């Protein structure tokens, strides 16, 4: 948990941004070339039924992440296998929100290239297992590059394509996934998302600003600072927040107690 919190990457302070959230939302809706699988807020919904087919009475877990963010990688490695099992069992809906604001912390706009490919794959490959496997490959310890232009090592398109192919994404889709078709949409997402007050930190040094990774359950952001202070594994905190025992992960018919509209429960130290 400490690693996730320490390496959270802060978007520029919301108070210094010129447009309101509503104006930025309106601008996002006006982007001409939008990923067809994306929601109006820039997310891609996955359930056991596939893309954009919500499981009724199941809570929705949303992840906001950037491909170059070390904390997002830690979140992916610690929590995403459990979220995948919950999705497969119909216990949750999962919403993925790729962001690319860290592109300037590389020499080849890495975050924009990868987030653009995630948006393309999510919109053109009808098997969400491929996308989840691709994200796992991107966040693998032996693949994710270090942020910062000083230590950054460029990642070729061929290497990124190889990760997507390894994840099962069809070749015809991989060949088009890195064309940067959705860059204007990503820019609009980067402008709008950090202005959503429900995603802002409520305490700590980043209070009043959105950081990545951010996790929400039924629209309510988890308090990463509090979870770190409790000293509990992030996976345990997510399951506690859902109201689901770890032994019930993947069990058909065992649903989180908070349902589709309840507030996440406060995690407690064991």
pLDDT tens-digit profile of 131-150?
A: 999 999 999 999 999 988 78
Highest mean predicted confidence (pLDDT) among 108-112, 166-170, 206-210 = 166-170
Longest CA span, the chain? 50
Helix (H, G, I), strand (E, B) or coil at 82: helix
**220 vs 79: CA distance, rounded Å:** 18
| Residue 200, C-beta contacts closer than 8 angstroms, at least 6 positions apart | 14, 207, 208, 209, 210, 221
- Compute φ and ψ for 47, nearest 5 degrees: -140, 180
The yes-or-no verdict on residue 188 having pLDDT over 90 is: yes
The yes-or-no verdict on residue 13 having pLDDT over 70 is: no
**17 vs 123: CA distance, rounded Å:** 30
| Torsional sign, CA 147, 134, 128, 35 | positive
Residues facing residue 60 across a β-bridge: 93
Residue 16 is predicted with a pLDDT of 44
Tell me the angle at which helices 70-88 and 128-138 cross, rounded to the nearest 10 degrees: 150
**222 vs 192: CA distance, rounded Å:** 20
- Residue 113, both tokens: 């290239």
- pLDDT, one tens digit per residue, over 105-119 is 787 899 999 999 999
Q: Are 188 and 28 in contact (CB under 8 A)?
A: yes
- Residue 199, both tokens: 């995603």
The yes-or-no verdict on residue 152 having pLDDT over 90 is: no
- Residue 240, both tokens: 């506690």
Q: What proportion of the chain, given as a percentage, has pLDDT over 90? A: 79
- pLDDT, one tens digit per residue, over 231-258 is 999 999 999 999 999 999 999 889 999 9
**263 vs 249: CA distance, rounded Å:** 19
Residue 2 is predicted with a pLDDT of 39
């Amino acid at each position: 948990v400490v690693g996730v919190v320490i390496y959270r990457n802060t978007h520029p302070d919301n108070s210094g941004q010129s447009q309101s959230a509503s104006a930025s939302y309106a601008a996002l809706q006006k982007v001409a070339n939008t990923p067809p699988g994306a929601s109006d807020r820039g997310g891609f919904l996955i359930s056991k039924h596939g893309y954009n087919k919500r499981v009724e009475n199941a809570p929705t877990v949303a992840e906001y992440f950037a491909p170059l963010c070390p904390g997002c990688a830690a979140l992916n490695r610690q929590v995403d296998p459990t979220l995948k099992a919950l999705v497969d069992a119909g216990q949750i809906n999962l919403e993925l929100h790729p962001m690319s604001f860290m592109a300037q912390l590389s020499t080849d706009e890495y975050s924009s290239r990868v987030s653009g490919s995630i948006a393309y794959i999510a919109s053109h490959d009808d098997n969400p297992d491929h996308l989840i496997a691709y994200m796992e490959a991107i966040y693998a310890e032996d693949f994710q590059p270090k942020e910062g232009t000083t230590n950054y090592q460029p990642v070729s398109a061929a290497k990124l394509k190889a990760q997507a192919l390894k994840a099962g994404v069809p070749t015809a889709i991989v060949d088009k996934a890195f064309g940067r078709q959705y860059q204007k949409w990503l820019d609009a997402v980067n402008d709008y998302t950090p202005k959503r007050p429900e995603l802002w930190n409520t305490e700590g040094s980043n209070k009043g600003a959105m950081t990545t990774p951010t996790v929400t359950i039924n629209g309510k952001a988890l308090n990463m600072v509090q979870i770190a202070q409790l000293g509990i594994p992030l996976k345990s905190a997510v399951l506690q927040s859902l109201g689901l025992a770890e032994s019930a992960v993947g069990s058909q018919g065992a649903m989180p107690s908070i349902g589709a509209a309840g507030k996440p429960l406060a995690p407690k130290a064991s």
